[in-house]
Amino acid sequence: MSSVQEMKALLTPKSIAIIGASSKDNAIGNIVVKNLIESHFEGAIYPINPKAPEIRGIKAYPSILDVPGEVDMAVFCVPAKAVLGAAEECAKKHVKGYVIITSGFSEIGHEGAEVEKKIVEVAHSGGGRVMGPNIVGVLLNGSKANASFAPCLPLDGKTALISQSGALLISLDMNTFVRHLGASSMISLGNMSDVDFADCINFYAEDDKTNCIGLYIEGLKNGRAFIEAGRKAGKPIVALKSGVSAHGAAAAASHTGSLAGSVKVYDAAFKQAHVIRARDLDELLDCSQALALQPVMKGENICVVTNGGGIGVLSSDSAEAYGVPLKTAPADLQVEFKKCMPDFGSAKNPVDITGGAGLKGYEDAIAVALKSDWVNGLAVLYCETANTEPDEIAEGILAAVKNNGTNGKPIVTCFVGGFKCQAAGKKLIEAGIPFYENPDKAMRALSALRQAALFQEEGIADDYVPAKDVDQAAARAVIAAARADGRSVLTEPEAKKVFAAYGLPVGKALVAKTEDEAVKMAAEIGYPLVMKIVSPQIIHKSDAGGVKVNIKDEAGVRAAWKTIMDNAKAFIAKKDIKDAAIHGILLQSMAPLGKEVIVGSVNDPQFGPTVMFGMGGIFVEVLKDVTFRVAPFSQKTAMGMLPEIKSYKILQGTRGEKRLDQERLSEIISRISQLVSELSDEIAETDANPIMLYPEGEGLAVVDARIILKKK
């Protein structure tokens, strides 16, 4: 069975057994039975209890093996030590879904983790899948199954909410009624011993009762499966990731390593997974609401209709902050809007019909906006005033939408005011129009609808095609030689050989063992040139005084030889480095001055090889102005990274300078992504720092290279 079929068996159960069903009122094993009854589960309920003949009036069985019919789902409420034994019986019974509420497994340490692993093996042996352990359960509106200890099924609707945290799930369950946010199901993932986010996304992507998938993520076990599932879903996904500050890459040896905090990597991975990132719970739920109820926004023109200048300006500020800035309405559209408002109103956008306009003003302005080809998305804002009734305005909005049709445009609303506004909001949401209590949220919702459209346009596949003119074997040979030498750090000339095997322009470089040899090699390479120390123990060569640039003649070579050797020896002595090896001095031609950029990679614990790009020098070191993508990826994706750095203007050419060679740069970034993913079994980190980047058409030069291997 495919993952989706297995998940379907698990999440659309026709029969549910409760292992550890209890006669005691407050026991979880009793609450789950009660919840299934109260949620009006339409299938068979089988309480399992060795002694009780019935529980809450339903016939109980001593063992799951005594149940006469098939069992789709077993909800485990027994103590941790009894779970494995019960799972073995479930496997014999070919139960499809194991919903393990019981805690006390991997979350308490190694021993628990071992048992957890065994439970999954047992479940798989019988053709089943495991949800949890350490969860609240699952709440399935489609099957009317509250197979959990949460009080009741959530408000019915079109969002699937999936949470790693159980307590959060219960509170969101209750919160759906306050927000009028309908959920098709709520899933608690807990320890994710088996079923994870990717499995759920795969299932809900195909579930026609679900329009939007909302996730609360603490960590992913398989980042790549997540990216693939998200991208394939073709359905809006919003995710809130917590714990973004905790894990850093403090001990990393390269620049890229130290910059690869998980926030930016998650940001990149979400983009690649076509997942909209929410910053907090409000954003998660507000965006889910909009994405579940409204079509995506197919163009970038937002129209705001408001009766208050203040909230209009606020919406404009927010729209810009969310990357969907408002634009002035075209002149002919302004003429139409002018007809809907008093003389002192504004038709520019925000369309301010003013407090004097009233219901008619709203109806007319909304009609104009909905009919206009220019408008791609509409926000209707309202301040509660003395001469209007919130309920009437809500009715007016609904009537305007009904009479004019939305032409596929999304529409959101925001009423600022008192209890009457809240009641109006409920009415709007029930009619399928998102409602928010401040303009910022309305704009965030529209920006999410826009982002969802852009993801749809991007399509499912990243158009990555590995470059063919690469020599993987040559790269592996260099790595094998360094390993044979007992090293996990490649020297610059070695790293450059690996880079060259993947088509990166590293220039000509030779390693001299003696001063005289250096003089000979210098003549062969030509002046001006650069000389650098080659020692596996000296990773940052300049720090050790190991780099001399712009050497113009033989005298310069001899002087540089002495200085670099003296500096290197002094550095080794000062740092008290044992068994230091100096392989010689590298000579290479001096690359013309360009704009220095850096491309590096790390091996992220969750996503694997991940590539970083940024401008060199202080931009990287002080400002940490960098961006990431999970490797491998296409040149087109690499092109998309460039505008993400704050110093992008430099790449575009500032103050009369020419635009830099972004095409070649993005090609190189994509090639590095290929290199680090094809050699991911060997490479931990890479750094091309700096790369000299030249104006359009003139390419680039990789002047320094560093590769750190995985410890073996």
Regarding 257 and contact with ligand ADP (CB under 6 A), the answer is: no
Residue 256 engages ligand ADP in binding (rule: CB under 6 A): no
Enter the tokens of residue 258: 């130290």
Provide the terminal-to-terminal Cα distance of the chain, rounded to the nearest Å. Answer: 37
Shortest separation between residue 705's beta carbon and Mg ion, angstroms:
8
- DSSP H helices in 345-415: 358-371, 390-404
* Extended beta strands in 118-262, E state: 129-131, 137-140, 145-148, 156-163, 183-188, 212-217, 237-241
Question: Which of the stretches 191-199, 222-230, 475-483, 537-545 binds ligand ADP when contact is defined by CB under 6 A?
Answer: 537-545
Token couple for 391: 């309920």
Check binding of 256 to Mg ion (CB under 5 A). Answer: no
Integer Cα distance of 455 and 291 in angstroms: 13
Query: Does 492 help bind Mg ion (rule: CB under 5 A)?
Result: no
In the shown chain, the binding pattern of residues 411 to 450 toward ligand ADP, with x for contact by CB under 6 A and - for none, equals ----------------------------------------
Distance in angstroms (rounded) separating the CA atoms of residues 538 and 556: 23
Binding test (CB under 6 A) with ligand ADP, winner from 239, 333, 428, 590: 590
Residue given tokens 């300049």 in the structure block: 542
- Does the CA dihedral 581-585-586-592 come out positive or negative? positive
How many whole angstroms separate alpha carbon 280 and alpha carbon 241?
9
Number of residues that bind ligand ADP (CB under 6 A): 13
Rounded to whole angstroms, the Cα distance separating 334 from 354 reads 15
Q: Which is nearer to ligand ADP, 104 or 505 (CB)?
A: 505
Name which position in 220, 704, 708, 709 contacts Mg ion (CB under 5 A): 704
Q: Are 11 and 23 in contact (CB under 8 A)?
A: no
Cβ distance to ligand ADP smaller for residue 4 or 549 = 549
Identified binder of ligand ADP from the candidate list 542, 552, 575, 605, rule CB under 6 A: 542
We find the least distance from the C-beta atom of residue 600 to Mg ion, in angstroms, to be 10
* Cα gap 191→103, rounded to integer Å: 9
Q: Contacting ligand ADP (CB under 6 A), which of 135, 293, 347, 530?
A: 530
Q: What is d(CA 556, CA 542) in angstroms, rounded to the nearest whole number?
A: 18
Question: Tokens at residue 294, please?
Answer: 């409204």
CA-CA-CA-CA torsion sign (437, 439, 445, 446): positive
CA 667 remoteness from chain centre: 24
Residue 427 or 664 with smaller CB distance to ligand ADP = 664
Would you say 672 and 686 are in contact if contact means Cβ atoms under 8 Å apart? yes
Contact partners, residue 151, CB within 8 Å, separation at least 6:
35, 170, 173, 174
According to the binding rule CB under 6 A, does residue 708 interact with ligand ADP? no
Binding mask 544-573 for ligand ADP (x = CB under 6 A): ---x-x------------------------
CA 574 to chain CA centroid, Å, is 44
Stretch that binds ligand ADP, among 14-22, 256-264, 541-549, 559-567 (CB under 6 A): 541-549
Part of the chain binding ligand ADP (CB under 6 A), chosen from 76-84, 166-174, 226-234, 535-543: 535-543
Tell which one of 164, 301, 588, 601 touches ligand ADP (CB under 6 A): 588
Q: Evaluate the CA torsion angle 500, 506, 507, 510 in order and state its sign.
A: negative
Is the CB of 201 or the CB of 534 nearer to ligand ADP?
534
Question: Cα Rg for the chain, rounded, in angstroms?
Answer: 31
Q: Which residue has the tokens 């309405």?
A: 329
The interface mask with ligand ADP, positions 686-705, x = CB under 6 A, is: ----x------------xx-
State yes or no: residue 594 binds ligand ADP (CB under 6 A).
no
What's the min distance (Å) between Cβ of 626 and ligand ADP?
Answer: 16
Question: What is the closest distance, in whole angstroms, from the C-beta atom of residue 115 to Mg ion in the complex?
Answer: 49
89 lies in the site for Mg ion, by CB under 5 A: no
Closest contact distance (angstroms) between CB of 540 and ligand ADP is 5
Q: Minimal distance in Å, beta carbon 689 to Mg ion?
A: 4
Distance in angstroms (rounded) separating the CA atoms of residues 559 and 283: 62
Query: Residue 94 interacts with ligand ADP (CB under 6 A)?
Result: no
Residue 541 interacts with ligand ADP (CB under 6 A): yes or no: yes
Nearest to 494 by CA among 698, 349, 706: 706
Among ligand ADP, Mg ion, none, what binds residue 603 when CB lies within 5 to 8 Å by partner kind? none
Q: Which of ligand ADP, Mg ion, none does residue 532 bind to, with CB < 5 to 8 Å depending on kind?
A: ligand ADP
**Binding segment (CB under 6 A) for ligand ADP, from list 51-59, 542-550, 607-615, 651-659:** 542-550
**Residues listed for the chain:** 712
On whether the CB atoms of residues 238 and 287 are closer than 8 A, the answer is yes
| Whole-number Cα distances in Å, 682 to 256, 386, 672 | 17, 71, 14
Closer to ligand ADP by CB, 549 or 559: give it.
549
Residue with Cβ nearer ligand ADP (137 or 594): 594
Q: Which residues, 670 to 699, sit near Mg ion by CB under 5 A? A: 689
What is the nearest approach in angstroms of ligand ADP to the Cβ of residue 211?
51
Q: Which does 365 bind (CB under 5 to 8 A by kind): Mg ion, ligand ADP, none?
A: none
Sign of CA dihedral 585, 591, 593, 595: negative
Binding mask 489-528 for ligand ADP (x = CB under 6 A): ----------------------------------------
Identify whether the C-beta of residue 30 lies closer than 8 Å to the C-beta of residue 21. yes
CA distance 429 to 182: 10
Interacting partner of 129 out of Mg ion, ligand ADP, none (Cβ under 5 to 8 A depending on kind):
none
Residue nearest to Mg ion (CB): 704
List interacting residues with Mg ion (CB under 5 A). Answer: 689, 704
List interacting residues with ligand ADP (CB under 6 A). Answer: 530, 532, 540-542, 547, 549, 588, 590-591, 690, 703-704
